[in-house]
Amino acid sequence: MAVLPVVTYPDPVLRQRCKEVIAFDASLHKLLDDMGETMAAAEGIGLAANQVGDLRRLFLMNVPVDENTTTGLLEVINPRVVAKRGEVRFEEGCLSFPSVYEFVVRANEIELHYQDRSGAAQKLICRGIVAICVQHEFDHLEGITFLDRLSPLKRQLALRDYDRKNREALDDKAFRAKARARRSPPQQIS
Ligand code: CO
């Protein structure tokens, strides 16, 4: 197993539509295992395949339901949302947009059909944060990010904020590297 690098905006792979999984083989199982490790390392509650640069149609979730319970690790392959009910507004984040949090409106209850890692058909009826996470991850597989669910003005402001924060993070990295270089001149190794 391996922790994979998580792709961040504006990488074009986030705009790509993931393709139906046909082979439920060792390569699929390796991807699922690596994504599980990646999601845990990043402390994410959901991760779609294109967020690690793979275009297979699948995502992982492990969502807290209350203080003590999570859904456990769900591996969702070839998902279809067959029913949606109600509406909920929730502040979402995304591993591909570090430090951006925005309120998004989604269905409060959904019925999801999918396949597990063996190819067996599964069904999940979920509501609240679990339903929100399913819709967020399902969007990723369609090449849609949570900022696409905002009004054009809100999206523009969120992206401006994202650019600024990332520039600051990069500047900070460069600054720290320079400071380190000043502190410790190259050592002579003899
Ligand atoms: Co996301």
Range of the domain at 161: 151-182
Give this prediction's pTM: 0.88
Residue 4 domain-assigned (yes or no): no
* 122 and 169 belong to one structural domain: no
Active site residue 137: yes
- For the stretch 55-109, pLDDT in tens is 999 999 999 988 889 999 999 999 999 999 999 999 999 999 998 999 999 999 9
- Rounded to the nearest whole angstrom, what is the distance from the C-alpha of residue 140 to the centroid of ligand 1? 7
* 108 and 166 belong to one structural domain: no
Residue 5 domain-assigned (yes or no): no
Integer CA distances (angstroms), 45 to 33, 38, 99, 115, 188, in order: 15, 11, 15, 19, 47
Question: Is the pLDDT confidence value at 143 over 90?
Answer: yes
Q: Distance between CA atoms of 57 and 63, rounded to whole angstroms?
A: 20
Residue 188 domain-assigned (yes or no): no
* List 75, 92, 102, 137, catalytic entry: 137
**Total structural domains in the chain?**
2
* 102 and 140 belong to one structural domain: yes
- Rounded to the nearest whole angstrom, what is the distance from the C-alpha of residue 111 to the centroid of ligand 1? 20
Q: Distance between CA atoms of 156 and 36, rounded to whole angstroms?
A: 32
Residue 3 domain-assigned (yes or no): no
